[in-house]
Structure 1
Amino acid sequence: MLAYIIGIVLFALGICVSVALHEAGHMVTAKAFGMKVRRYFVGFGPTVFSWRRGETEYGLKWIPLGGFCDIAGMTALDEVTPDEAPRAMWRFKTWKRTVVMSAGSITHFILGFVVLYLMALTMGLPNPAAAAPTRPVLDSTSCARSAATKEQVQAQANTACPAGAPAPAAEAGLRAGDKVLAVGGKPVSTWDDMLAAVQATSGRTVFEVQRGAEQLWLVVDVPKVKRWTPSGTKEVGMIGASPKQLPLTVQYGPVSAIGATLGFTGSMFAETAQRLVQFPERIPAVVTAIFGGERDPNTPVSVVGASRLGGEAVEQGIWILFFLLLASLNFFIGVFNLLPLLPLDGGHIAVVWYERVRDWIRGLRGKAAGGPVDYTKLSGITMALVLVGGAVTLLTVTADIVNPIRLQ
């Protein structure tokens, strides 16, 4: 239980640091372009302490859930003092405002990449090839013996063969590292293909095998034995061989880790985009889970649910999953925040570029620039999106409390 609680705290702390750095990304880029940054605080609520350095007040608030960066004149409606007016954010060039508003998401992307890169150097990254169907390559040979129950099958995997037990694969000359190409003239491409072909045959059977640069044809005398299968105990062919398993993770050096991390980051971005597209259609399943239905592991989770999973990962010693969850959440927050919806940063970026394109078109028509967008006209849409976002957050948090997704 202690490890579980520590995991939850560590994961929640990681999220808080990520969001605080998100706001720091806005602050650093705004200051670099000469915009006036009034305040940068970590957390919300009453102030614990603060200090002023130059024109910016820095501080910590009691509720450690993210933070905020107050940039003068983010929109033309924001009140600014006479000395702030020339440096109001809305007066700056489009590309500079875009950089500042996207800096938060970019910070999340950098954090996710750094987490994955450090994983690649230390504990390794998940091996994509390990998730593919197992190749028909032998890792070892053993004997063919009956097993009437699942427990017997599991026990035999950890015990040596009894003296005199038939070992068809070894007796026919099959070795570790051999790749089976065909069984009885039937081509096989995966271990499951080979297993099905072997179980369906008996007696002297020709195995076409690739051994290094050689191609061999070995005759295996396949016996019939009684074996437990998920569909019941059956009499099947068996040769006594185990598949060569690929490592679940791959560790890299400092240079090779860069390419591996970039590739893995790309796959995580693709998965994040897919989850965002599927997000609306999975909300009904969240509601069902709240009222006692089985929780679909593919339904959205809140920060609460992600922290619980992080706690379970630490409790079970699966640190690689803990850091993968942290990197994945950073990518998700970064991509989600760039959606062209107010009040997200992506919504503000969309407004900025609308102004830019609109003024370009007006210029082609010989008209003057149209000026900043009136955000009051967008307040209704913004409030609707805030309410929808709040409702979704409430649903996911509730589901993560009453019916959370758990590690198997």
Structure 2
Amino acid sequence: MLVYILGVALFALGICVSVALHEAGHMVAAKSFGMKVRRYFVGFGPTVFSVKRGETEYGLKWIPLGGFCDIAGMTALDEVTPDEAPRAMWRFKTWKRTVVLAAGSFTHFVLGFIVLYFMAISMGLPNISDKPVIDEVSDCVRSASTPEEWNDPTCGPADPAPAKAAGVQPGDEVVAINGTPTDTWQDLLAAVQKSEGPTEFRVLRDGEALNLTVDVTQVTRPTTEGGTEQVGAIGASQALMLPHGPVEAFGGSAAFTGELLVQTWQRLLEFPEKIPAVVEAIFGGERDPETPVSVVGASRIGGEAVEQGLWEVFLLLLASLNFFVGIFNLLPLLPLDGGHIAVTWYERVRDWIRKRRGKAAGGPVDYTKLNAVTSVVIVIGGAIVLLTVTADIVNPIRLIQP
């Protein structure tokens, strides 16, 4: 239980650090362009402490949920002092304001990449491309007529061990069987299951190509329909995590980052249709593991991952959460940063059109006219947070079912 609590605390701390760095991204970008940053605080509520360095006040507040970066003149409606007016954010070029507004999300993407890079060099990255890389070589293969017998690892004295006898080692990538390329693990399975007797395997080991002769054994195994079938077997399992060296990890982490960003965007598009399932889960329905989770649910899953020693799950969840927040924050909806970016570019396009027509610039957008839309977004967002938090308390998603 203590390990679980530690895992929850570590994941919650990771979220807090991510949010704090999100705001730091805004601050660093704003300062680099010469905008005035009045305050940078981590958390909300009463102030624990603060200190002023130069023109910026830095501090920590009691409620560690979020933070804020107060940039003078973020909109033309913000009050600024006479000395702040020339450096008000709304006076800067469109591209500079866009960079400052997007810096928070960019920070999340960088954090996610750093987490994946650490994974790559320490425990490897998930084998999303289904590479035919060997994880473990079994001591034997044997026939079985029932699922229980098939899953029993006990070996008899006469049971063969084709892969082990041929010198196949963990980490080997099988690139061809009998001259036929095996681009994926499914290709390997198909080739092995229809083979029998001495079979040529071409493997890559530490960058070197080797030819190994594996005496594929035909075994009897149970089928899902309750019968049995004859298939070839060698006694090896697929590596679900692929290790990377420090240099190779940059490319691997970048590729996996792109894959996660695509998956995150797809999940975001599916988000609305998942809400009814969250409501059903609150009232006793089975919780779909594909439904959205709140920071509460994510922290609980993180705690379970640490408790089970599944650090790769913990880190993947933390990276995925950063990617989700980064993409979500760029949606063109106020009060999200993406909403402010959309308004900024609306002003730019509008003024370009007015200039083409020989008219003067239209001036900054009046944000008060957008209050109704902003309020609707806040209410909907608050309702979704309430639903997911409730579901994560009364019917949480679990890594291992009790």
* TM beyond 0.5: yes
Instruction: Give the secondary-structure state (helix, strand or coil) at the position aligned to 1:49.
Output: strand
Aligned to 1:161: 156
Quick one: which of 219, 222, 226 aligns to 1:232? 226
Aligned to 1:376: 368
Distance 1:193 1:272, change over 3 A: same
Offset, 1:42: 0.8
Aligned to 1:250: 243
Q: Is contact 1:181-1:207 (8 Å) kept?
A: no
Instruction: Give the secondary-structure state (helix, strand or coil) at the position aligned to 1:128.
Output: coil
Offset, 1:403: 1.0
Distance 1:138 1:329, change over 3 A: closer
More moved, 44-53 vs 349-358: 44-53
Quick one: which of 397, 401, 405 aligns to 2:389? 397
TM-score by length of 2: 0.85
Cα displacement string for residues 37-77 of structure 1 (whole angstroms, at most 9, x for unaligned residues)? 11111110011111222222111111011111111111111
Q: Quick check: which has more Rg, 1 or 2?
A: 1
TM-score by length of 1: 0.84
Cα displacement string for residues 247-276 of structure 1 (whole angstroms, at most 9, x for unaligned residues)? 5231322x2211111111111111111111
Task: Specify the code of the residue in structure 2 equivalent to 1:151.
Answer: E
Distance 1:108 1:135, change over 3 A: closer
Cα displacement string for residues 107-126 of structure 1 (whole angstroms, at most 9, x for unaligned residues)? 11111111111222222222
Matches of 1:287 and 1:353, distance apart in 2 = 37
Aligned to 1:259: 251
Aligned to 1:151: 148
Task: Specify the code of the residue in structure 2 equivalent to 1:241.
Answer: I
Matches of 2:388 and 2:355, distance apart in 1 = 47
Distance 1:86 1:128, change over 3 A: same
Task: Specify the code of the residue in structure 2 equivalent to 1:248.
Answer: M
Aligned to 1:21: 21
Distance 1:98 1:288, change over 3 A: same
Q: Is contact 1:41-1:60 (8 Å) kept?
A: yes
Offset, 1:239: 5.4
Matches of 2:276 and 2:296, distance apart in 1 = 19
Quick one: which of 330, 350, 364 aligns to 2:356? 364
Aligned to 1:387: 379
Q: Is contact 1:11-1:311 (8 Å) kept?
A: yes
Distance 1:195 1:114, change over 3 A: closer
Aligned to 1:116: 116
Distance 1:287 1:28, change over 3 A: same
Structure 1 residue runs without a partner (length 5+): 183-187, 199-204
Aligned to 1:326: 318
Task: Specify the code of the residue in structure 2 equivalent to 1:337.
Answer: N
Q: Is contact 2:136-2:238 (8 Å) kept?
A: no
Matches of 1:397 and 1:313, distance apart in 2 = 19
Distance 1:168 1:372, change over 3 A: closer
Matches of 1:94 and 1:359, distance apart in 2 = 11
Matches of 1:13 and 1:135, distance apart in 2 = 35
Aligned to 2:33: 33
Distance 1:161 1:240, change over 3 A: farther
Structure 2 residue runs without a partner (length 5+): 169-173, 180-184, 204-208
Task: Specify the code of the residue in structure 2 equivalent to 1:343.
Answer: P
Distance 1:271 1:7, change over 3 A: same
Matches of 2:107 and 2:212, distance apart in 1 = 56
Matches of 1:221 and 1:106, distance apart in 2 = 53
